[in-house]
């Protein structure tokens, strides 16, 4: 098959290629030309989504295999924080799965969505996990927007990146297809014999999951294995809680580094480009839970470069992994630095890098900015805001009013004197 991979970013203001379709999470686009059907893409049409004033490609997964590979996937929310807290949230996530499915050469063999986790067996016609990961990234990014809006949340509710395991044999894939469906029962969210609407077990052939790729890969013998697994649901294997099993251990640091470098196309530590290094460190930390200093030692990073990379790694976790600043700080195990100056540096860098207003940056970082209480606007962390204004005014020799404008601080209907008040605080 021809290689259809194109540029990942179209550029600000650029129009999508002729014949492209624009992704709309609220619209069923499964019949639009250029989407995948049975793991195949009819033509080279690219699926794009809006990104600011431009467009970003999302459908660049290539169909390059006649036989699918099978993966077990487990997603979970942060401890004590249900990622799918209501039936509406679970239903919306299932709709996200169905809406994104036509854009990638993948097929869902089975799934279930519970209060704090989602479980899948997914077949991919890609030779690597790239299409699978892009599919999950689109689904989760769409759901995160919904979650933050509906539940007044900031950042990603997911605890970590997907836990993905390759399933090589028919028996292993068959057992995991059934096990993924049975997680609502294992986790006590539905009684034995009860129906669960957010699972492929109760689709009854009317949903979007189907073990078609499984049948093509493993034939009649494989289907017999799957039938036997469905009939033997009382076996101990089908009472395993996948969350406890998958997340009770992490990769060894050396293995995490090796696998991450392969994923990024860097086959030795000395060949990691500078712009990729923060992404590598963030990924290694997610996979191994190793502290920042230990990762730096393994990658031979020392001296003044460590601090710069630390801020860029935290930015990576905030922007692309949708973590809060506190989560990133704790995950990286930073103990030798004062937290506040690092936060100030990152806020300034994000302002320069993204061009967002300071309230938007605070939201991304998980910091409170303001709220309306009893009809009156209430500000939080103004001490930090003032410190940033003073620093930028001194270091860049700009008037305080100019800095305030560059940070997007302005008068509002709720507070018509905001600019004057914050300028007065910065001068005092």
Q: How many C-beta neighbours within 10 Å does residue 100 have?
A: 26
Does a structural domain hold residue 45?
no
Give the structural domain span for 404.
364-427
Query: Can you give the pLDDT at residue 25?
Result: 46
Pairwise CA distance, residues 340 & 350, whole Å? 15
State both tokens at 331.
């995950």
Looking at the fold, whether 272 and 224 belong to one and the same domain comes out as no
Does a structural domain hold residue 115?
yes
Query: Can you give the pLDDT at residue 275?
Result: 83
In DSSP terms, which residues pair with 379 in a beta bridge? Answer: 370
- Terminal alpha carbon distance of the chain: 67
Does a structural domain hold residue 177?
yes
Q: Can you say whether residue 303 is alpha, beta or left, with left for phi > 0 and alpha for psi between -120 and 50 degrees?
A: left
CB burial class (10 A; 0-12, 13-18, 19+) of residue 206?
exposed
Looking at the fold, whether 329 and 377 belong to one and the same domain comes out as no
Residue 326 makes CB contacts below 8 A (sequence gap 6+) with 366
Query: Can you give the pLDDT at residue 372?
Result: 76
Residue 29 makes CB contacts below 8 A (sequence gap 6+) with 21, 23, 35, 99, 102
What's the length of the chain? 428
User: Residues 9, 140, 165, 321: is their CA dihedral positive or negative?
Assistant: positive
pLDDT (tens digit, 0 to 9) for every residue of the chain, 428 residues total?
A: 333 333 333 333 444 444 444 444 443 333 333 444 444 444 434 445 555 555 555 444 445 556 788 999 999 887 667 899 999 999 999 999 988 888 888 899 999 999 999 999 999 887 677 788 888 888 988 898 899 888 887 777 887 668 888 888 999 999 999 999 889 988 888 887 788 889 988 764 456 777 788 988 899 998 998 888 888 866 777 778 788 776 655 678 888 888 788 767 776 777 788 788 998 999 888 878 899 999 999 998 888 889 999 999 999 998 887 788 988 898 899 988 999 999 999 999 999 988 899 999 998 888 888 887 777 888 989 999 999 999 999 999 999 999 999 999 999 888 899 999 999 999 98
Looking at the fold, whether 258 and 223 belong to one and the same domain comes out as no
**CATH assignment of the domain containing 165:** 3.30.70.1290
Looking at the fold, whether 176 and 296 belong to one and the same domain comes out as no
Query: Can you give the pLDDT at residue 207?
Result: 66
Query: Can you give the pLDDT at residue 192?
Result: 72
Q: Record the pTM.
A: 0.54
Query: Can you give the pLDDT at residue 16?
Result: 43
Looking at the fold, whether 201 and 89 belong to one and the same domain comes out as yes
Asked which of 231, 246, 261 is the last residue of a domain, the reply is 246
Q: Among 70, 45, 44, 181, which Cα is nearest to 118's?
A: 181
Please write down the long-range contacts of 51-54, taking CB distance under 8 Å and 24 or more positions apart.
51/9, 51/10, 52/12, 53/12, 53/13, 54/9, 54/10, 54/11, 54/12, 54/13, 54/14
Pairwise CA distance, residues 388 & 152, whole Å? 26
* DSSP per position, 173-237: HHHHHHHHHHHHHHTTSS-TT---TTBGGG-TT-SS--THHHHHHHHHHHHHHHHHHHHTTTSGG
Query: Can you give the pLDDT at residue 425?
Result: 95
Does a structural domain hold residue 60?
no
Does a structural domain hold residue 20?
no
Looking at the fold, whether 100 and 175 belong to one and the same domain comes out as yes
Does a structural domain hold residue 309?
yes
Q: Among 60, 57, 63, 48, which Cα is nearest to 2's?
A: 63
Looking at the fold, whether 331 and 422 belong to one and the same domain comes out as no
Does a structural domain hold residue 64?
no
Looking at the fold, whether 211 and 241 belong to one and the same domain comes out as yes
Pairwise CA distance, residues 400 & 415, whole Å? 19
Number of domains in the chain: 3
What three-state secondary structure class fits 244?
helix
Q: Do 58 and 49 meet the contact criterion of CB atoms below 8 Å apart?
A: yes
Residue 262 makes CB contacts below 8 A (sequence gap 6+) with none
Whole-Å CA distances, 367 to 157, 238, 322, 374, 384: 15, 42, 13, 21, 10
Pairwise CA distance, residues 28 & 229, whole Å? 34
Looking at the fold, whether 236 and 301 belong to one and the same domain comes out as no
Looking at the fold, whether 99 and 210 belong to one and the same domain comes out as yes
Asked which of 321, 337, 353 is the last residue of a domain, the reply is 337
Query: Can you give the pLDDT at residue 311?
Result: 95
Looking at the fold, whether 125 and 209 belong to one and the same domain comes out as yes
Query: Can you give the pLDDT at residue 204?
Result: 47
Looking at the fold, whether 93 and 183 belong to one and the same domain comes out as yes
Residue 162 makes CB contacts below 8 A (sequence gap 6+) with 73, 74, 75, 133, 136
Pairwise CA distance, residues 383 & 111, whole Å? 47
Does a structural domain hold residue 120?
yes
Query: Can you give the pLDDT at residue 131?
Result: 81
Pairwise CA distance, residues 161 & 137, whole Å? 9
What three-state secondary structure class fits 166?
strand
Query: Can you give the pLDDT at residue 67?
Result: 76
Asked which of 220, 246, 272 is the last residue of a domain, the reply is 246
Residue 267 makes CB contacts below 8 A (sequence gap 6+) with 261
Phi, psi of 299 (to 5 degrees): -95, 10
Q: What pairing do the DSSP bridges indicate for beta strands 47-51 and 21-22? A: parallel
């Amino acid at each position: 098959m021809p290689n259809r991979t194109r540029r990942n970013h179209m550029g600000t203001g650029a129009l999508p290629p002729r014949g492209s379709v624009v992704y709309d999470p609220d619209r069923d686009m499964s019949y639009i030309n250029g989407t995948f059907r049975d793991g195949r893409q009819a033509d080279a049409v690219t699926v794009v989504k809006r990104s600011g004033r431009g467009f970003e490609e999302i459908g660049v997964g290539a169909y390059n295999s006649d036989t699918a590979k099978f993966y077990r996937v487990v997603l979970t929310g942060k401890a004590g924080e249900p990622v799918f807290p209501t039936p509406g949230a679970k239903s919306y996530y299932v709709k996200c799965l169905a809406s994104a499915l036509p854009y990638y050469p993948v097929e869902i063999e089975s799934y279930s969505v519970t209060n704090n986790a989602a479980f899948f067996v997914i077949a991919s016609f890609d030779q690597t996990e790239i299409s699978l990961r892009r599919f999950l990234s689109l689904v989760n990014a769409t759901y995160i927007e919904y979650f933050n809006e509906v539940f007044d949340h900031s950042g990603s509710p997911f605890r970590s990146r997907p836990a993905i395991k390759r399933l090589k044999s028919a028996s292993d894939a068959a057992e995991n297809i059934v096990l993924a469906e049975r997680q609502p029962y294992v986790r006590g969210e539905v009684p034995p014999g009860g129906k669960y609407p957010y699972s492929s077990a109760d689709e009854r052939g009317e949903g979007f999951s189907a073990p078609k790729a499984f049948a093509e890969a493993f034939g009649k013998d494989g289907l017999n294995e799957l039938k036997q697994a469905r009939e033997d649901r009382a076996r101990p294997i089908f009472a395993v809680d996948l969350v406890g099993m998958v997340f009770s251990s992490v990769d060894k640091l050396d293995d995490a580094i090796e696998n991450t470098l392969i994923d990024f196309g860097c086959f030795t530590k000395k060949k990691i480009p500078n712009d990729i290094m923060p992404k590598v460190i963030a990924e290694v930390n997610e996979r191994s839970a190793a502290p920042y200093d230990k990762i730096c030692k393994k990658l031979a990073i020392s001296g003044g470069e460590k601090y710069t990379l630390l801020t860029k790694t935290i930015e990576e976790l905030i922007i692309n992994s949708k973590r809060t600043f506190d989560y990133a700080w704790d995950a990286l195990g930073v103990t030798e630095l004062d937290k506040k100056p690092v936060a100030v540096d990152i806020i300034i860098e994000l302002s320069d890098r993204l061009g967002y207003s300071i309230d938007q940056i605070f939201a991304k970082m998980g910091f409170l900015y303001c709220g309306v209480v009893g009809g009156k606007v209430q500000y939080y962390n103004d001490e930090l805001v003032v410190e940033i204004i003073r620093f930028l005014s001194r270091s860049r020799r700009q008037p305080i009013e100019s800095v305030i404008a560059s940070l997007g601080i302005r008068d509002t209907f709720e507070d018509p004197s905001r600019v004057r008040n914050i300028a007065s605080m910065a001068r005092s």
